[in-house]
Structure formats: C-alpha cells, structure tokens
Amino acid sequence: MLYYSTNKQSPTVNFKAATIQGQAPDKGLYFPEQIPTVPAGLIENIESYSNEEIAYLVMKPYVGDTIPEEILRKIVNETINFEIPLVPITENIAALELYHGPTLAFKDVGARFMSRCLGYFVQEEHRKVTVLVATSGDTGGAVANGFYNVDGVEVVILYPSGKVSSVQEKQLTTLGNNIHALEVNGTFDDCQQMVKEVFTDEELNKQLFLTSANSINVARWLPQQLYYFFAFKQWKEKSNPPVISVPSGNFGNICAGILAHISGLPVTHFIAACNANDVVPSFMLTEKYEPKKAVATISNAMDVGNPSNFVRILEIFHHDFKNLERLFTSVSISDAETRVTLKEVLEKHKYLLDPHGAVGYLALSRYLENFPEHKGMVLETAHPVKFFDVVEPIIGEEVPVPGSIREQLLLEKKSTVIPADAAKLKSFLQSLG
C-alpha cells in the first residue's frame, strides 16, 4: 500500500514513511492509493471472528510489508485490549462506548496503535524522534499515555489554555519524563497552525526528526476504523444497518468510519454531529468551505474552526458532492440543546452521556424522527467524568470517578506557557536537542 498527498505535489510513500513523516512535504495529508475491500466472509460471519482477528485483517492492507505479521498482530492486540461495548439507550438508539481505555477516550485506540508502530519503526532509525501534537482535549492525554517512556521518543503537546477540561489537562500535564506540555495562549486552531508551520520549517527539520500524532497521521487515523467493525459485530439487526452519529471536531473519527464503510462495512448513513463550530454543516448547505475562528463550547474537544480531516472525506468521494450527501449529513447543536439533552437522557433512560455524546445523541434522534424505519448508534467518545465540571451542574449530582484516573487527578500539573507563536514553539523544540 502506497500513500499520496491530498495536495498531489509530493511523492508517494509506504506506511512506514507516512507514519514517520506525519504530514506530506507539500502540506497535504497522506491518503491510501487504494481503499481495500475486507476479506470475503468477514461481514457475513463477523460474529465468529475475534476482535483481534478483525483488527489484524482490517489493518494489514494499510500496513503492507512495513511491519512483520507477528509484530502487527501484537500491536493490534495491545491496541484493543479493553472493552468496547454497544449499550442500548432506547429501542432505536444505542451508544458505542469508546471510553474504556486507559485515558477514558476514543483516541486511545489510535494513539496506542500509532505509538507501537512508531516505536517499532524508530528502532531502525538510530536517532531520537520528536512527536508533535496539538489537542483540543482528548488527543493530548491519549498520546501522552501511549508514548510515555517509549525509548527514543520525545512528545510535545500543545493545548489551548483554559479551553480543555480540568481532567483532560491533568492527563496531559502530569506524566513528565519524555512528555512535554505547552499551554498556548490561544485556540486549538492556533495550536494546530503552529504545528503545521514548524513541520514546514526546513531549518528545524534538518535539526530534528519531527512527526505528528494528530489524526493527520495515518497511524493515528486508520485504526479508528476498528471499533466501527466491532460495533457491527454487536449490532442485532444485521439486515438493517445502523445510522451512525459521530461527535465531530477535526473529522478524523467519522472519516475512518466512512473508510470502513467503503471497504465493505454496512452502514445506512453517517451523521457528523457538530457544536457551534459549524464549518462542515454550513458546507453541506452551501457547498462552500469557509473556515472560521473556533468558538468555545461545553463540548470542547470539537471546538475546531478548520477541521483537517474533512479534505480526506472529500477525497473518499472524489470531491463529488452528490455522492457525499447521499451518505453523509452534518448538523450543528447548541450548548443549550446539549445541556437539555444530557439531562433528559439521564432522567428518561438512566444513561449518562458526556457533552460530546449528547451532541451526537440529539443529532441522531432528530434524524431518526424523519426516518423511523431505521435505528442508530451514537459514538460515546469520552467518559462523562472527563467533563465533570460541565456535567455535574447540569445533572445536579456527582459523576463517579473511575479508579484508573483517581490518583492522576491528585498529581501536580507541569506545563510551559507560551504565546500562539510558531517561533516560540520552534525555540522550545530546539531546546530539547
């Protein structure tokens, strides 16, 4: 499998090179030359396959011969060694709980896969790699956990000051050692722009071996397909495939789901559920893509005004809008609607959503009102405790804290405050050597 740049101005590369480089030299995103079809019989007999075998069969074509079979099987087994249950909420809506991993967020899957792939690849490089990542919330903690104490890897995480939850901040600022947290006086889009600028700095790239751990990296993005397959394995009505609602910020998660569908996974429709940051919902109405400055919401991990991965969705559909809108809808949900939904679902159905899941739930519920012959699932992308400071005032009670993070919440925050300035980021990276 080879990967080309969405800007079409860089050479094609294999999975190893795409993972190590992160972003293509022409500033485009890497995209597979072919979208593989899943093996015959996998979908029809999916309940007879283990999750580990499904994961291996799905990821093998993308990895190609860059990782030996026994190593890849070990990587996927370690990536998915936690529960990913599909939990009924109503007769028509279920939640795919993606928060049972070590940092209680869906990004554990991609971060664990990428860290293990990169750890394998750098053994052959004989030089230190610096992993650079911008986060609007959950990516930072997942990447920090995935790469913590990995030999030969330094991790630098940029996050917008005051715009991530207190739990998210503790998860990305308390590990230390090879994990460095930069608290940026700006927005997530500022963080993302700073990262993009240093990746195209020729002088810096001669000095340092840089790669990205955002979902622009194929090793972070592609394994997110896996839990869509696991969800279908648990789906009761195989002849009536689900409508899937995905809380969407940078659009890597839903893009991976669409890729899984093109590969052969049955899905009736995808809903990209957004908060007030409505660049893609506006595009679906006007066919004009107009990035905006991100605005802060209570579903902060989706506060993105220029989602990087939407270009990959357009690439999947060869930029054919008519084909896109047959499979894909995008809507914007307000903070007020999010609060009401979170409270009502708990009171009526005894299920506690997080703010992002509440956005996805309401978007799905409204879609199913118009298409009552279908049923659907919402991706619950993070544990509600990660946003307890938002959730508890809404529901009027405490959110139980899982034991896995209770101790981490007591640790001291360690971060370096910097302005939203790529030159300051460059200086920090140079100081790491």
- Residue-range domains of the chain with CATH: 83-105+221-400 (3.40.50.1100)
- Which amino acid, residue 376? G
For 258, the enclosing helix (H) or strand (E) is helix 252-262
**Is the separation of the CB atoms in 108 and 382 below 8 Å?**
no
Q: Which helix (H) or strand (E) holds 429?
A: helix 422-431
How many C-beta atoms surround the C-beta of residue 349 within 10 A? 14
Marked catalytic residue, from 60, 107, 233, 375: 107
Mind listing the pLDDT tens digit of every residue in the chain (433 residues)? 999 999 999 999 999 999 998 889 898 999 999 999 999 899 999 999 999 999 999 999 999 999 999 999 999 999 999 999 999 999 999 999 999 998 899 999 999 999 999 989 988 777 788 999 998 777 888 889 888 988 888 999 999 999 888 888 998 899 989 999 999 999 988 998 999 899 888 899 888 888 888 788 999 999 999 999 999 999 999 999 999 999 999 999 999 999 999 999 999 999 999 999 999 999 999 999 999 999 999 998 899 999 999 999 999 999 999 999 999 999 999 999 999 999 999 999 999 999 999 999 999 999 999 999 999 999 999 999 999 999 999 999 999 888 878 888 888 899 999 999 999 999 999 998 6
Query: What pLDDT was estimated at residue 161?
Result: 94
The pair phi, psi for residue 156, each rounded to 5°, is: -120, 120
Q: Does residue 16 carry a catalytic annotation? A: no
- Give dist(CA 9, CA 66) in Å, integer: 24
Nearest-angstrom CA–CA distance, 280 and 274: 8
pTM given for the model: 0.91
What is residue 14's predicted lDDT score, i.e. its pLDDT?
98
Give residue 424's pLDDT.
95
- Mention every residue, 6+ apart, whose C-beta is less than 8 A from residue 50: none
Residues with Cβ within 8 Å of 100's Cβ and at least 6 positions away in sequence, in order, are: 82, 83, 84, 85
Predicted pLDDT at 23: 87
Nearest of 244, 289, 257, 219 to residue 67 by alpha carbon: 219
Per-residue model confidence (pLDDT) at position 261 = 98
